[in-house]
Amino acid sequence: MHDDAANHLAFERARLVLPGGVNSPVRAYGSVGGDPRFVSSASGPYIRDVTGTEYVDLVCSWGPALLGHAHPAVVEAVQEAAARGLSFGAPTLGEVELAEEIRRRVPAAEHVRLVSTGTEATMTAVRLARGATGRPLIVKFAGCYHGHVDSLLAEAGSGVANQALPGSAGVTEATASETLVLPYNDLEAVEQAFAERGSEIAAVITEAAPANMGIVPPLPGFNEGLRRITTAHGALLIFDEVLTGFRVSASGWWGYETSTLGASYTPDLFTFGKVVGGGMPVAAIGGPSVLMDLLAPLGPVYQAGTLSGNPVAVAAGRATLAAADASVYARVDEVSTTIADATSAALSAEGVAHRVQRSGNLFSVMFGDLAQEVGTRSYAQVQASDTFRYPPFFHAMLDAGVNLPPSVYEAWFVSAAHDDTAVGRVLDALPGAAKAAAAARR
């Protein structure tokens, strides 16, 4: 492991003006150690840092770069939009066209409200659920991340249906008490929570396929079970597809699970982000018109944003979705399978107990005997895994020119731009990284 001088100096400079030297915590390499790479440019499957060193990128801006970095059609659309004006604070046809494309891909999103961030989308969905039901409580699952909304930054208290304790300084106990945190993939716990507090629960919010505690796929029938329970108690089901939406399939995880895995259910509300903006700050809430029209100006649930539906940002989103055809998803699926299988083979060759967990074309590595034997199905099991093996694995890949997520709790992403050359560089780096993981000690 080594830190070159240019990145180190950039990090030191950043720490003089930015808290922790970053504008989003995971970028600081806190869980893997060392100095973060300061990126100067990106193109296709590659990023380059301030030294000019090139890396095959398996972060893809945490998901948005489905087509690869700086895709020509997206760049051209942004340049043309910027030339017409950066922001108007007025309606544009571009935002209508983006909403129409979202509805085309996810017909259950009859009406769409565009916002700027995934956090804003989930915050609005929760407010809308409370406004629609007149109830105060929200159910979420340990390990699922829904942005830095106060009431959703909560850790589980003792007992299945206990009210949550604050998961961040600055979040009051009163705010956290509006959230019930349950173990993921545990329908019995959900049944119990509704048996005890069902008349108070406005909604269950869940990542459609969790990818913020590493990849922890929903067990077969879990999402359908959530739909059954919420319907029985008059609560809403909110699907957080900020990460999975338009990445794991043309219609996100809901589309993947219902069309490919044979599930049959429909959430009440969807939240989208990342891919829907093509790398620009765009997110969205969608659902049936009867619910969505409770938002102002038609209804009593207030939401607003000066930059919502920004013309430059929606141009990037429209161009990304326009280019994301069947061949794009087929290539992303193919590359993710190749890299996931090769990662598992390299670790197995070194005798490292592990499991590469997958949700469609999203994947991540879980280390340890339990993971290998039965997989990790909840946040508690993820926390109990051999996470100490990831930092040396990460740095060995980085030294070999492959940029992985700087946390074992994050998903790996590929793009349609990852050609055979880029994939080959990843495969070449894996044996050395597997040796580093095997040699790791607590």
Q: What are the pLDDT digits (tens) for 415-430?
A: 999 999 999 999 999 9
Q: What is the pLDDT of residue 156?
A: 34
Q: Kindly tell me if the per-residue pLDDT of 200 is higher than 60.
A: yes
Mean pLDDT of the chain: 94
| Domain shared by 131 and 240, yes or no | yes
Q: What is the pLDDT of residue 155?
A: 52
> CATH no. for residue 117?
3.40.640.10
| Domain shared by 229 and 130, yes or no | yes
DSSP state of 164: P
Give the span between the Cα atoms of 34 and 340, in whole angstroms.
25
| Domain shared by 122 and 41, yes or no | no
pTM: 0.94
| Domain shared by 305 and 336, yes or no | no
User: Which of 430, 424, 434 is closest to 45 using CA atoms?
Assistant: 424
Q: What are the pLDDT digits (tens) for 139-192?
A: 999 999 999 887 887 653 323 334 445 667 777 777 778 999 999 999 999 999
User: Which of 321, 310, 306 is closest to 282 using CA atoms?
Assistant: 310
- Domain encompassing residue 155: 72-323
How many domains does the structure of the chain reveal?
A: 2
Q: What is the pLDDT of residue 228?
A: 98
| Domain shared by 435 and 303, yes or no | no
| Domain shared by 14 and 142, yes or no | no
Query: Hey, which residues are catalytic here?
Result: 145, 240, 274
Q: What are the pLDDT digits (tens) for 297-340?
A: 999 999 999 999 999 999 999 999 999 999 999 999 999 999 99
Instruction: Point out the domain boundary residue: 278, 297, 323.
Output: 323
| Domain shared by 241 and 154, yes or no | yes
